[in-house]
Each structure stands twice: as C-alpha cells, then as structure tokens.
Amino acid sequence: MQIQHENVQVMPGLPFKYYEHSPLTSINVAPHWHQGIELNCLTAGDTLKFVTDGKTAEYRPGDIWAVNRRSVHSASGIPNADWEEFGLIIDDDFLQAQLPESTNWQITLVGPQASKIAPTAYTDIRAHLIAIHDLLTQGATDLVRLSVLSHFYELLVQLAQSYTVPLPPQNINANQSLADTVMDYIDHAYAQSISGATLARRFHVSLTTLNQQFNANLQMSVNRYLRLVRLMNVRRLLLETDKPVEYIASVCGFTNNKTLNRNFKTWKGLTPTAYRQTYARYHKIDTSCFQKRPL
C-alpha cells in the first residue's frame, strides 16, 4: 500500500476544494497527503476514526477538525451508519499570498478539545463551514460565490486568531522536490533493507540534510516516515489477509517479529495479533474520494 498524494483542484472562482461524502460510498479513506490545510465537519453518522501521522483521534457528529499541510491522514468508520461529512482543502498558494505568516502555521483545531480552548471560535468556524456547505448546494452563481467567500474569510480569521501556533524555526530552505522523490521511493521500496542512512547515500545527500528536508516538509524525520509507511502496510495485511504475523513482518521491512511487535504496540497500543483480532471484521478501504498524483 502506497501513501497516496492528492492533487487538489479548487472550485472555479473559489480558493479551495470542496468535497462532500457520498452516501453511496464507504466513509473509509486510504492514507494520503496533500499540500493545503484541510478542514472537516462531521454532521451525522457514528464515531469516525481519523488517523493523522500515525495518531488516531475519534470524531462524532458535531465535531470539526483540521489537517495540517503534508500530514498523512486516513479515515474509517462502520459501514451501516448514515454518514454526513464534508470539508474543504485551502489552496496553499492563495493562503500564503493573502497571509504570508501562514507559511509557519501549525493548526490546533482537533475536535472537542479545541472547543475547550476557544469555544466561541469553534462554534463560529463550524457555523461558517455549514453555511458554505448550504450555499454550495444552491449552485455556484456569482452571488453564491460572494456569500461563500464572506464566510470563508471570516473562517480564516477565526482560525488564525484561535487555532494556530508557530512551527519550530527551520534553518533551511525546504526542498520539496527532494522530499517528494524520497517519499516516492520509500512508498515502493519499504519492504527492502533500507534506512535513513542508505536513502541519504542513494540520493547523494547527507543524512542530516535529508532529515532537515523531511522535517521542513513533513515535520518528521526520514526514519519516522519510513517506519510509518511500514506500519501502515503491516496494518493493511493484518486486516485484509490471514498471513502469519512473522510473514507480514518480513514483507513490510521489519527485521523480525519482536521488532514489529514493539513498533506496532507503540503506534497502536496493541500487538499486531491483538489488533487483528479486534479490528479485522470492521475493515474496508475506499480510495475513490480523492485524486491521486499521476504516475
């Protein structure tokens, strides 16, 4: 399983991509990432498990949450709930042109705990998201577009004032091309005996430089990203096959079962066997809700 890149295409005349869950498709979304900040609103359904950079959160109807730039994220939920979920992905070029300081934003809008930090802002952002949703159902006329933009700008103000903290300073210019190239290689070669050091040699940079680029672009080291890709593939094989854990460890790049157990328990709080027994019957992946990067 690769971690897919989503090509974000904005709506005509609007500085964001808008999406809405189709009741005819699964609520499950495979691991992927994109450049822009994403805002989500769950209005009906059940408990939605949302994994961001390996950390799982649970959201319920009425919750809103954000996904930061280039964060790997996925979602899953029970198949028989009447899910209603929508959101938008902000065009990053637009955002940085309007608010240059947003380049350094780390968004802290993460559901109910965010409502405790700034309850009024949380309520207002949710109201603006719902208003945008309701307006877009009318059709994208010029007047609707202006109304949508008014809510969108107010949403940005509330987000900036209440739910942003500065990223740690980076004493390096982010080389997105290098990070993307190495990520693509890891997505295909994770089962091989590779590490941050071997990747640095392969791409003719120092390990320090490679880690600086991954931290600048993804806020994680190259070894952490490699481990995350391997663990996500372990999870897929645990839930989709009946292959022995020892086999799964070997084909996902872990040197032995003990190493896998330690890393998987740190990630999910359960051993691979216990995780399979608990969650296999709920698993179903659907990747149709986002656009992948062309091969």
Provide the CATH number for the domain around residue 38: 2.60.120.10
Q: Which among 258, 171, 257 is positioned nearest to 213, based on CA atoms?
A: 171
CATH of the domain at 277: 1.10.10.60
- Contact status, residue 291 vs residue 5, Cβ threshold 8 Å: no
19 and 121 housed in the same domain: yes
In the predicted structure, residue 285 carries a pLDDT above the cut 60: no
31 and 148 housed in the same domain: yes
Note the pTM of the prediction, 2 decimals: 0.69
pLDDT in tens, 209-239: 999 888 887 778 999 999 989 998 898 899 8
In the predicted structure, residue 118 carries a pLDDT above the cut 80: yes
User: Is residue 100 classed exposed, middle or buried when 0-12, 13-18 and 19+ CB atoms within 10 A define those classes?
Assistant: exposed
Q: How many domains in the chain?
A: 2
Place of tokens 């709920």: 282
Whole-number pLDDT of residue 13: 86
SS3 helix, strand, coil % of the chain, rounded to 5? 45, 20, 35
pLDDT in tens, 17-46: 999 998 878 999 988 888 899 999 999 999
Whole-number pLDDT of residue 87: 96
Q: Which residue has the higher pLDDT, 175 or 125?
A: 125
201 and 146 housed in the same domain: no
**What confidence category does residue 170 fall into, taking pLDDT thresholds of 50, 70 and 90?**
low
- Contact status, residue 94 vs residue 156, Cβ threshold 8 Å: no
81: domain range?
4-166
CB atoms within 10 A of CB 77: 23
Place of tokens 């089962």: 191
